Amino acid sequence: MTEELVIMRDRQAVTTSLQVAENFEKNHRDVLRSIDMLKKDVRNFAQMFIESTELDSYGRDRRIYYMNRDGFSLLAMGFTGKKALQFKLKYIDAFNQMEKQLQQQKPLSLPEQISLIAKGYENLSADVEDIKNRMGLPSNMALAFSKKRNAKIINVLGGKKSNAYRDKNVRAKTYRALFSSYRETFDQDRYNDLPMKDFDKAVDFVNNWYPPFELQQEIKQTNAQLAIV
């Protein structure tokens, strides 16, 4: 379950459909469906929700929504039960504190974000550095890592215009090979679960990674065959 309830995006306090699905223990597809239904009936939908995509661990695009406080409040109206109420209160508190920081008109430092997230989730008083060492990547770092990973895959396959990149099977196989090496190196089942303290090591790992020999040969053969065609 994610500890990151509310994040900053474009100087606004927001959460995501993925975070809501995880914290309220719902299927993400059901959360997306609920938001899509709101889109049909809510006139100012665009002021509360922004549709976007992010890559999963296999490099595939998946649809998500960013939502501000009003969007979350509207969506969460349909969530019932004692546990749901507890999470609603935690989200409201997290929004309050994040928006209070934003009103000060200065960027929130990473340690401040960590402290705020921890306080909003469990009202923790643990040391910020300890949290940094244990919690996974926040959205901004996860996005930066995804860009590094995707750039590496594109380079290994010979560029976006290469046939190896255009071949979905070869591209997927390369993503899986990278993830397999990553999981063996960092003992993590998801990229975003990587402790923040290991971020630089993970970036170095990606920069220095190359596919196993057999996959390298398959990439070369695929590009060569397409070049002939």
Task: Give the lowest-confidence range in 103-112, 145-154, 166-175.
Answer: 103-112
| 16 beta partners | 66
Band (118; pLDDT cuts 50, 70, 90): low
Residue-wise pLDDT tens digits, 84-106: 676 677 777 777 776 666 565 45
pLDDT for 205: 92
H-helix or E-strand containing 12? strand 12-16
Task: Evaluate whether 120 touches 5 at the Cβ level (below 8 Å).
Answer: yes
H-helix or E-strand containing 103? none
Using the structure block, give the residue that is written with the tokens 């009936």. 41
Q: Give this prediction's pTM.
A: 0.45
- Spatial strand order of the sheet with 12-16 comes to 7-9, 12-16, 61-67, 49-55
Half-sphere exposure of 131 (CA within 13 A, CB side): 21
Band (115; pLDDT cuts 50, 70, 90): low
Q: How far apart are CA 226 and CA 28, in angstroms?
A: 38
Q: How far apart are CA 9 and CA 18, in angstroms?
A: 15
